[in-house]
Amino acid sequence: MEPRTFGPYLRNLRTRRGLTQEQLARQLHVSGAAVSKWENGKCLPDLAKLEALAEVLQVSVSELMQCGGGGEAVSLRQIPAATAFPNAERPRRQALGVAALLIFTVLVIFLQYFPLHRVIQVWQPSWFETGEISLLAHVGSREDRQTARPALDLAEQAFSALGLTREEAAARYGELSRYCFPRDVYPGVVREEHHLDLWSAHFSGGQGQMWVYYSQEGYDAAGNCTTGSWRVPSLWYLEQAETGEWTVIGIKEHP
């Protein structure tokens, strides 16, 4: 999967789904500029975003990585047969290339669903308990991640909220109000930027846990970053109301 191949493929999928770059960005909890860079072939999305991207565009992760299944094959066909490989070596090298691509795809998919590197990243037994950290070993089922989406959407609003007082923010967003920039606490903040990434989601028996990785910055009128939090792993506890809605009732982060 190369940026110059992936970009046009992504743009085609997005337009076929009738989505603008901003609409796709909101569903992925990234900026519109990030989607633009992907489509212009400047960079590739993080592995953590591939599943969500595949889900929104209604394709498999494997198909997304292979740009519809034709990316690698097209590249090989475009190489003239007389110069691509010596006749005796060509079949063997093609087989090795296919095998390497298959191994890479399997490895990426495995790490997508079982991101063990995050367990190591957050391993701080003095703060998070072993059971809490173990939730990072699996991203959760597709159903669990769908259940988490309304909470992420509300968090998106809380992160973006400006101009509210601390009391107004608490009344509107509850526990998620900690991510607002209340005007009576941060009077100089007139603009904010943030990034939200759902690491894992697990729901059962009216209780839920979500690991969310985020960064946030607040800027003053002169464009200076005056406050923020960067690359924070955060564990959210949720509870299901009688109406079926899930509410964040507690948030745990390393101090």
pLDDT at 74: 34
Which pLDDT score, from 0 to 100, does residue 64 have?
77
Say what the pLDDT of residue 102 is. 66
pLDDT at 39: 87
Model pLDDT, residue 109: 59
User: Mean pLDDT of residues grouped by 10 in the chain (255 residues)?
Assistant: 81 89 86 85 79 85 73 38 51 72 65 78 82 93 95 96 96 97 96 95 97 96 95 96 96 90
pLDDT per position as a tens digit, 168-180: 999 999 999 999 9
Let me know: does 218 contact 186? Beta carbons within 8 Å: yes
Residue type, 29: H
Percentage, residues of the chain above pLDDT 70: 84
What domains are defined for the chain?
3-113 (1.10.260.40), 130-253 (3.10.450)
pLDDT at 108: 64
CA distances from 57 to 12, 23, 30, 83, 107 (A): 10, 12, 15, 38, 22
Computed over every residue of the chain, the mean pLDDT equals: 85
Q: Give, in order, the Cα–Cα distances in Å from 197 to each of 48, 68, 207, 243.
A: 8, 25, 21, 27
Burial (CB count within 10 angstroms: exposed 0-12, middle 13-18, buried 19+), residue 221: exposed
Which residues neighbour 50 within 8 Å (Cβ) at sequence distance 6 or greater?
Answer: 61, 64, 65, 108, 112
